[in-house]
Structure 1
Amino acid sequence: MTAPTARYPMSEFEFVAFIAALMAVNALGVDLMLPALADIGRDLAIVTANDRQWIVTAYIFGFGIGQIFYGPLADRFGRKPVVVVALLCFVAAAVFAAHSASFAALLGARVLQGLTSASSRVLSVAIVRDRFSGRQMARTLSVAQMIFFVFPILAPTLGSAVLAFGPWRLIFYALGAYTLVVFVWALTRFAETLPQARRVPISLAAMRQSYRLTLTDRFSIGYAVSSALTFGGIVAFVSSSQQIFVDEFHAGGKFTILFAVCAFSMGCAAFANSRLVERLGMRMISQSAVFGLIALSLVHVAIIASGHETLVTYIVFQALSMTCIALCGSNFGAMAMERVGHIAGTASSVQGFISSVGAVVVAAGIGQSYDGTTLPLALGYLGIGVVALALILWIEGGRLFQARAGA
């Protein structure tokens, strides 16, 4: 563990905790209101059950769009001013959501929440990249994600606890209050990680050059699309989880516990990755996870098709699939940044835009296919695994399980 210095007053422990808390703004923005989806549907007259999924996907859509702007701003003005302003704007968007009088207004507020929370993803990756690279970057992101995954585990339970004290609107006030705490932390403790000498003026020529480099580098674009696929699997599960647990398995009373089991598996995977990545490498772990996802999905589809799907089999296969997806996540992100680290802010924006908007497309395709069974989700995971494997073969020139320098 590194000690605080004049340049970085945070110790490594506090730094990782801060990054996790920053990332958690987004996690809570997605998961905190899941127990309230049925209440929101009744209060705002949402007739079709599948339409409630748009409360999640609208947020992710805004999250993806917003990322395209934060990178150039962070590369020009530094990380700290951008993140503190964005956090304040997120608080305002949360208040707007709490006062929504119609489904359309709520969706608009959710898009705004996504637009402002996009800073958490772009800036967290760029800040870590400012200080670390290669396997050390992947290890740091994995540790942060391990802490970050505690929030999806607890979020539905916290949301249910908030609902015990008031209507669903109170959840958005709680979300704003948490973000305000992170804002104060950033304002008082976080030190700028981008020196003046490395800042890039905002110009069309510079942006065009950075975007071209990010979009034409095979590793950057390939692993960004791979991240979109795996992130889409997570969003599909989150957006349809309330319907699956409540409507299909009639386990509404255990929803928060069952959801936590699946999220906990991702936390365990992130912890394992943080311990193993420097020894085994990002490619060995992520590629093994992709093969694991394909194998699990094939078996799961067969079980569903044979009529033997139960709540137990669903939980087991969902948790194992989420484990594989988590083992891909931070490694794909780190590998996407391998050759564009010198433009980390802009590269993170472009890659985040691709992964988030792509995830919305993937999640909408899977989630809107929900037919009262878990088959669309299992088939979706199978497709994610197969396409991700094809992308990896293209990115790596047909070579699998071969580590590169530092990876």
Structure 2
Amino acid sequence: MAALFSMVAFSIDSILPALPQIANLLVPDDINKAQLLISAFVIGAGLGQLVFGPLSDSMGRRFSLSMGMLLYMSAAFAAFWAQTLEALLFWRFVQGLGAAGPRSCGLAMTRDLYDGREMARVNSMAFGFFVFVPAIAPMFGQWVVLGFGWRHLFTTYILVSAAILAWVLLRQPETLPTERRRPLSPRPILAAFGVVLSTRVTLIYMGVITLAFGQLMSFITSAQQIFVDVLGAGTNFPYYFAMVTVFSAISGFLNAKLVMRVGMRRLAQAGFAVQTVLATVTLFLWWWFSPEGAWALWLFCGWATTLFFLNGLSFGNLNALAMQPLGHVAGTASAVIGALPTVAAMMIAAPVGLAFNQTPFPLLIGVTVCSTLALTLMQLDRGNNS
């Protein structure tokens, strides 16, 4: 599951060190546009789940996952040859569509086999392993860019996805029996969408997931410019990024141990409450002291570490809370829960990234607002002790 979930993270984070080269080659007059390569992929990954979720409910998880991986590899091959930013954006979008297959099918497989806090525990364990991917992806991406050129990142995507697909087909049995599959026709698909979108608790946590993912993607879209242009990290950017993100692995394993005793909702709520305070304090310190040099670097790294750590106490729990009442339409549910918050989150992250003004203020303000709203929204499910 960690390998399947990592397809999206690896495809996003490994391209970060290549953004300056791509911008200088394809859009030298407006280098901020290179960030759109992240947005295009993420939006594709969100919308693609609306296809692969229902497909997996009808054709099975393994078949749908394989189709997604093949689309991902085909788009990566085409992106290798792209000569304009527009063409590269299109193929990154298609690549994201393909990456939706392993993401939505992986979540549906987990729901097929587990429920409630047990599902949250398994998701947290997968997250604990998965987080090493975004930690090392920028380093790996920089190594490929410096050694072979940025286009060979797409060669890497093909090789990695082929290896994961082979592993899944060899080791992971089908989790959806034939008798539980739904017909692939408009009426049952629309009926399943209706079930998901009329379930109050699911709608609440889809909103919370949107805000949580929005603040995380705001960080990712802004990270390269903040570390390099503001903090002077230069080619050491991937190492600082790894240092910040790797702590999420600890929170994933910690959540797997705590969730059975404390509960999904309480842990997620605590994470948002703490982040609201920390982001506000960091914003105030940056405004009041205008830090520079090592002081600025370590202040930002310290705060960013808490952002990733506290997200590790949230995502597995939030997905399990949203999926809990929808086991009978798990594929479609995972699609909707993945797609709508992902697309909506980019409507938060893209403006934050484009608002970059040689300071971390837009990012810090965005995270403060998102955490506050997520904490507030969770109050609508106050009676839930899951």
The answer to whether 1:180 aligns with 2:162 is yes
Q: Report the residue type matching 2:178 in the other structure.
A: Q
The answer to whether 1:192 aligns with 2:174 is yes
Cα distance in 2 for residues equivalent to 1:136 and 1:214: 21
TM normalised by structure 1 equals: 0.91
SS in 2 for 1:165: helix
Tell me by how many angstroms 1:307 deviates.
Answer: 3.0
More helix by share: 2
Match of 2:226 in 1: 244
Q: Check whether the contact 1:245–1:255 (CA below 8 A) recurs between aligned residues.
A: yes
Match of 1:326 in 2: 312
- Percentage of identical aligned residues: 33
The answer to whether 1:207 aligns with 2:185 is no
SS in 2 for 1:306: helix
Q: Report the residue type matching 1:323 in the other structure.
A: F
The answer to whether 1:360 aligns with 2:346 is yes
Q: Report the residue type matching 2:368 in the other structure.
A: L
Match of 2:299 in 1: 313
Tell me by how many angstroms 1:192 deviates.
Answer: 0.5
Structure 1 runs (4+) greater than 6 angstroms displaced:
none
Tell me by how many angstroms 1:49 deviates.
Answer: 2.9
The answer to whether 1:299 aligns with 2:264 is no
Among 357, 367, 378, the alignment partner of 1:381 is 367
Deviation track 1:229-286 (CA, whole Å, cap 9, x = no partner) reads 1111111111111100111111113201110112112222112111211111101100
Assess, with a 3 A threshold, how the Cα gap between structure 1 residues 231 and 46 changes in structure 2: closer, same or farther. farther
Cα distance in 2 for residues equivalent to 1:333 and 1:93: 28
Q: Check whether the contact 1:74–1:82 (CA below 8 A) recurs between aligned residues.
A: yes
Cα distance in 1 for residues equivalent to 2:233 and 2:171: 43
Cα distance in 2 for residues equivalent to 1:219 and 1:342: 16
The answer to whether 1:221 aligns with 2:203 is yes
Greater mean alpha carbon deviation, residues 258-267 or residues 44-53: 44-53
Cα distance in 1 for residues equivalent to 2:354 and 2:311: 21
Match of 2:126 in 1: 144
Match of 2:358 in 1: 372
Q: Report the residue type matching 1:326 in the other structure.
A: G
SS in 1 for 2:313: helix
Structure 2, unaligned stretches of length 5 or more?
none
The answer to whether 1:341 aligns with 2:323 is no
Tell me by how many angstroms 1:403 deviates.
Answer: 5.3
Match of 1:255 in 2: 237
Match of 1:29 in 2: 11
Q: What pairs up with 1:119-130 in 2 under 5 angstroms?
A: 119-130=101-112
Assess, with a 3 A threshold, how the Cα gap between structure 1 residues 296 and 94 changes in structure 2: closer, same or farther. same
Cα distance in 1 for residues equivalent to 2:339 and 2:146: 36
SS in 2 for 1:371: coil
Q: Check whether the contact 2:7–2:161 (CA below 8 A) recurs between aligned residues.
A: yes
Q: Report the residue type matching 2:51 in the other structure.
A: F
Q: What pairs up with 1:56-95 in 2 under 5 angstroms?
A: 56-95=38-77
Assess, with a 3 A threshold, how the Cα gap between structure 1 residues 270 and 297 changes in structure 2: closer, same or farther. same
SS in 1 for 2:148: coil
Q: Check whether the contact 1:88–1:183 (CA below 8 A) recurs between aligned residues.
A: no
Among 77, 92, 99, the alignment partner of 2:81 is 99
SS in 1 for 2:289: coil
Cα distance in 1 for residues equivalent to 2:115 and 2:29: 49
RMSD between superposed Cα atoms in Å: 1.2
Tell me by how many angstroms 1:51 deviates.
Answer: 1.3
Q: Report the residue type matching 2:299 in the other structure.
A: T
Deviation track 1:5-47 (CA, whole Å, cap 9, x = no partner) reads xxxxxxxxxxxxxx11111111111111111111111121342
Q: Check whether the contact 1:139–1:277 (CA below 8 A) recurs between aligned residues.
A: yes
The answer to whether 1:156 aligns with 2:138 is yes
Deviation track 1:54-84 (CA, whole Å, cap 9, x = no partner) reads 0111100111111111111000010011111
Cα distance in 2 for residues equivalent to 1:215 and 1:103: 36
Among 104, 112, 130, the alignment partner of 2:94 is 112
